[in-house]
């Protein structure tokens, strides 16, 4: 005859009754992280030295040509990186201020290069009597990305 | 809504075409761990997220992945521009060229077209975020 004790109950056994299935470890980005300046961030692929952990030690050493477009790309990248950080750290006032500064610099860069840079989107006001949106080169074309 | 910004996130300028390399890079465009899957994964998972942080993060990352998709497309395009006759016949590229010429078709390096089977959207925050961790780990493998 099987004794009643031989039939296990749920929760019985060697593990403590409240044993977790697994212990996840997710390293969170800390508050107020150190930052690269925008252009270096764009080249390294992250604004945050603490997250700059290149795979196999392969680092992008190409310097970007200093053009209005690359300036806009660098500032846009900084805004984007700070936005991603603020998405999970909305209380960080210093990061918020920096995000706002880069937004302003992006807008200033656009304004200063009006007529030099082609229209970036349909919403930005344009003037003149030609529809410049269609002008070559398009972003994926080699000619759009040459240096100097 | 989405509106197009007429610039790449980071410049792509490739002087010398290399169709064999294009065929490998293409998987980062439309392969199982490519940018198309990444953007659709994040942009589709966000609807069932309960917290603002997750809604914001998945929206912003999913949007950025679309920008990555465009850069990878630009790489494939420039690696296959102005090809010479013998370059079309490169055995690594010829089968792709027969079907797509130098169009950028979302597919894996092995040739199969992009498939939503390579992403997961479960409507459960833990399941979806865990899938995102796994996906980000496989991106590293592809880049390697």
* CA separation for the pair B49, B33 (Å, rounded): 22
Which of A55, A120, A122 lies nearest to residue B7, judging by beta carbons? Answer: A120
Question: Is B24 in CB contact (< 8 Å) with chain A?
Answer: no
As a whole number, mean pLDDT of residues A53-74 equals 89
A55 closest CB neighbour out of B15, B81, B144: B144
Q: What is the ipTM of this complex?
A: 0.91
Look at A25-29, A70-74, B5-9, B133-137 and tell me which has the smallest mean pLDDT.
A25-29
Pick out chain B residues at pLDDT < 50.
none
Considering the domain boundaries, does residue A71 fall inside one?
Answer: yes
Question: Within a domain: residue A18?
Answer: no
* Yes or no, beta carbons of A147 and B64 under 8 Å apart: no
Report yes or no: B11 at the A interface, CB cutoff 8 Å.
Answer: yes
pLDDT at A22: 78
Note whether residue A24 is domain-resident.
no
Give the integer Cα–Cα distance in Å for B119 and B125. Answer: 15
Q: Where are the alpha helices (DSSP H) in A89-136?
A: 93-112
**What's the structural domain count of chain A?**
1
Contact B3 A80 (CB under 8 A): no
Identify the pLDDT of residue A5: 66
Cβ separation of B60 and A84 shorter than 8 Å?
yes
The CATH architecture annotation of domain B19-143 reads Up-down Bundle (1.20)
Cβ-based burial of B47 (10 A; exposed 0-12, middle 13-18, buried ≥19):
exposed
Closest CA–CA distance from residue A4 to any residue of chain B (Å): 39
Q: Band of the pLDDT at A63, cuts 50, 70, 90?
A: confident
Whether pLDDT at A97 is above 80 = yes
Quote the domain boundaries for residue A79: 31-53+60-118
Radius of gyration of chain A (CA): 26
**Domain spans of chain B, in order of start:** 19-143
Residue A75: inside a domain, yes or no? yes
pLDDT for res B106: 97
Is the Cβ pair B143, A55 closer than 8 Å? yes
List own/partner pairs for B133-141 with CB under 8 A and 24 or more apart.
B135/B33, B135/B37, B135/B38, B135/B41, B138/B32, B138/B33, B139/B33, B139/B38, B140/A55, B141/B33
**Which of B4, B6, B61 should one mutate to test binding to chain A, selecting the residue with the greatest count of A CBs within 10 A?**
B6
Determine, for residues A118 and B6 on separate chains, whether the beta-carbon distance falls below 8 Å. Answer: yes
pLDDT of B141: 66
Find the CB nearest A70 among B11, B12, B74.
Answer: B11
Across the interface, whether the CB atoms of A147 and B13 are under 8 A apart is answered yes
């Amino acid at each position: 005859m099987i004794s009643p004790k031989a039939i296990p109950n749920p929760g019985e056994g060697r593990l403590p009754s409240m044993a977790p299935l697994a212990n996840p470890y997710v390293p969170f980005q800390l508050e107020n992280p150190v930052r690269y300046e925008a252009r270096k961030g764009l080249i390294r692929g992250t604004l945050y030295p603490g997250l700059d952990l290149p795979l196999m030690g392969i680092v992008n050493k190409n310097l970007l040509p200093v053009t209005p477009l690359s300036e806009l790309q660098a500032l846009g990248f900084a805004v984007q990186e700070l936005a991603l950080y603020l998405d999970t750290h909305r209380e960080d006032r210093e990061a918020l201020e920096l995000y706002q500064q880069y937004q302003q610099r992006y807008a200033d860069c656009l304004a200063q290069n009006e007529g030099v840079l082609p229209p970036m989107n349909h919403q930005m006001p344009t003037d003149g009597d030609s529809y410049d949106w269609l002008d070559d080169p398009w972003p994926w074309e080699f000619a759009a990305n040459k240096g100097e | 809504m989405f509106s197009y910004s007429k610039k790449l996130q980071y410049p792509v300028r490739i002087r010398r075409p290399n169709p064999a390399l294009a065929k490998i890079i293409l998987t980062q465009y439309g392969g199982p761990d490519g940018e198309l899957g990444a953007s659709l994964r994040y942009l589709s998972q966000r609807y069932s997220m309960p917290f603002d942080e997750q809604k914001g993060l998945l929206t912003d990352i999913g949007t950025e992945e679309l920008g990555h998709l465009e850069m990878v497309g630009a790489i494939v395009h420039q690696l296959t521009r102005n090809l010479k006759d013998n370059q079309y016949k490169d055995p690594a590229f010829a089968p792709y060229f027969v079907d797509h010429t130098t169009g950028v078709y979302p597919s894996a390096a092995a040739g199969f077209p992009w498939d939503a089977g390579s992403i997961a959207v479960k409507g459960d925050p833990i399941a979806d975020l865990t899938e995102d961790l796994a996906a980000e780990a496989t991106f590293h493998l592809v880049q390697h």
